[in-house]
Amino acid sequence: MKVATGTGAYKYVVLSLLYLGWCVSYVDRAAITFAATYIASEFQLKPSDLGILLSSFFLGYSLLQLPGGWLADRFGSRPVIVISILMWSVFTAFTGLAWSISSLVIIRFVFGLGEGAFPAASVKGVAETFNKDERPKMSSLLMSSNYVGSMLAPLIIAPMIIQFGWRNVFHYIGIAGLVFALLYWFLVKPIRTVKGSPIEEMEKKAINKEAFRTLLKMPLMWQIVAVWFGLSIVNKGLDSWMPTYLMTQRGLNLKSVGLLLPLPYVLAGIATAIGGWVMIRFFDGRERYLLIGSSILTAIFVYCMYTSHSIAALITYQCMAYFFKSFVLATCIALPTKMLPANLIGTSIGMVNLGGQSAGFISPLVIGFLVSAFSNYDYAFSFLIAAACFSVLVSLFIRTMKSSAYAQHA
């Protein structure tokens, strides 16, 4: 399939479907965090066992980030996206059939493998559909779906678990994913590059070994990976453990958690949606300042969140932490789309997500063991704050150019 730029309303149809696909993926993956207390009760699990379970998805997910991006660059985004949705939906449904903690861990690991190719392929889909000037804004807008999906998950999953039981919930959302995969396959078609486009010759080629090796040797790409790794420690740690923390440490029930947890994702969705525009409009060539400031503020608000004495203050500070960490996500996704041609976008986003999802494997696991070892969350939250400070440190060394300079360089 040739890399393409869409015209008219069609490109926004593709963007809408990719956005919906992200929302479905986040509802599917978030279901386990709301079912965690029920699963722990049924299988008699300790916090460290839950940490292993929550991390197993991210291990599989991280392993497919770079291969998924390469496959999307090599064969186009459409087949990679559809196969990914089909695979994760099947194993979402299988989660409800688990008979032991071991079976759950294996199912969640394979579920992560299935979903792992989707992130890079979806941003590749944006690069195939929109022209180079639009890509940073559209890719960060697409990433805001992460938080819309996370916002919807408690509103959908918590009442369903209460009504139908945790096992049936996984069956239902797995079936919904299979339906969406068919919808995407029939509505999205390969698009050919507009003849005479100045980017046609460069961008219609599939990635080759030389381009892949060159990309892997770019220090700036690995700096971006490292920044998002640090903030993803915060991101995945809070996403995975906040429902359990609020229920076991702050005395809330599942219904209350389901109503309160969507609020931080509203702020996160707004920040991610506008992040690409903010980067280009105010920080073009100076992206490190956006990364540094956002990472510092994330660390401050995570500290304020944990030390707060009321639920209202805790949720308020969590909202602010999610708002500023989401500017880091938007920038780390938008920067490669600004710097690189379309035939490298899938692989570059796979690299960024490799950092993020590696953190997704590490963070829930470390938090689980810290809580088990010390019987409180003090060291767990210190771990999250230290990770945000790591991102600040790496961001100090990032050097970028203005968009026009990258265009000339290309």
Domain-by-domain residue ranges, the chain? 10-191+200-409
Across 350-373, average pLDDT: 85
CA atoms in the 13 A half-sphere facing the CB of 71: 20
Count the Cβ atoms, other than its own, within 10 Å of residue 300. 16
Mean pLDDT of the chain: 84
State the pLDDT at residue 127: 84
- Which secondary-structure segment (H or E) carries 214? helix 209-216
- Please spell the DSSP secondary structure of 241-286, one letter per residue: HHHHHHHHTS---HHHHHHHTHHHHHHHHHHHHHHHHHHHHH-TT-
Number of Cβ atoms within 10 Å of the Cβ of 18: 25
- Does residue 165 have a pLDDT over 50? yes
What is the structure's pLDDT at 232? 92
Q: Give the pLDDT confidence score for residue 407 in this predicted structure.
A: 60
Element housing 38 (H / E): helix 10-43
Q: Does residue 20 surpass a pLDDT of 50?
A: yes
Can you give the pLDDT at residue 196?
44
Least confident of 13-27, 173-187, 347-361: 347-361
Q: Is residue 169 within 8 Å of 96, Cβ to Cβ?
A: yes
CA distances for 382 relative to 74, 131, 197, 261, 401, angstroms: 42, 43, 51, 21, 35
Indicate yes or no: pTM above 0.85.
no
Mean pLDDT, residues 171-179 taken together: 90
pLDDT in tens, 197-220: 444 444 555 566 777 788 888 899
What CATH class is the domain 10-191+200-409?
mainly alpha
Instruction: Put residue 7 in one of left, alpha, beta given phi > 0 → left and psi -120 to 50 → alpha.
Output: beta
pLDDT computed for residue 3 by the predictor: 41
Q: Is the pLDDT of residue 383 over 90?
A: yes
Quote the pLDDT of residue 95. Answer: 85
Higher pLDDT, 11 or 302: 302
pLDDT of residue 204: 53
224-270 pLDDT, tens digit each: 999 999 999 998 899 878 888 888 888 888 778 777 877 888 898 89
- Classified as helix, coil or strand, 193 is coil
**Confidence bin at 285 (pLDDT 50/70/90):** confident
Q: What are phi and psi of 5, to 5 degrees?
A: -115, 125
- One DSSP character per residue, 114-136 reads HHHTHHHHHHHHHHHHS-TTTHH
In the predicted structure, residue 1 carries a pLDDT above the cut 60: no
Answer with the residue of higher pLDDT: 149 or 85.
85
Cβ pair 345, 127 in contact under 8 A = yes
Q: Is pLDDT of 137 > 70?
A: yes
Would the pLDDT of 57 be above 50? yes
Q: What is the reported pLDDT for 4? A: 44
Task: Give per-residue pLDDT as tens, 73-110.
Answer: 888 888 999 999 999 899 888 888 888 888 888 988 99
